[in-house]
């Protein structure tokens, strides 16, 4: 049975891969003028730990680079995650 660290590592890896792939799918849908993935869903993936995957996709695909509300929410999620991680590590 995996310990907490192993579970967290598996979770973070999986959620970041999913976030990256969903951003890739959204970029593809945007290019083909198809139905897009709602930004709220992408932000939930970030909030669940997929922030690095979202940022990698933003830079890798030049996707969502001009969407200021999306980027502002994403940086807010990142700030909260850094604070929570810092508090957890400091205990």
Rounded to an integer, what distance in angstroms lies between the CA atom of residue 24 and that of residue 58? 9
Q: Give the pLDDT confidence of 47-59 residue by residue, as tens digits.
A: 999 999 999 999 9
Show Cβ contacts of residue 31 under 8 Å, excluding neighbours closer than 6 positions: none
More confident residue, 49 or 66: 49
Range scoring the smallest mean pLDDT among 1-15, 17-31, 75-89: 1-15
Confidence of residue 28 (pLDDT cuts 50, 70, 90): very high
């Amino acid at each position: 049975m995996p310990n907490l660290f192993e579970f967290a590592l598996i979770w973070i890896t999986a959620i970041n891969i999913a976030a990256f792939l969903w951003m890739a799918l959204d970029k593809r849908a945007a290019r083909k003028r198809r139905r897009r993935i709602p930004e709220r869903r992408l932000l939930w993936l970030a909030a669940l730990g997929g922030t690095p995957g979202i940022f990698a996709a933003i830079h890798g695909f030049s996707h969502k680079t001009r969407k200021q509300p999306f980027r502002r929410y994403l940086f807010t999620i990142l700030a909260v995650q850094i604070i929570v991680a810092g508090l957890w590590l400091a205990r």
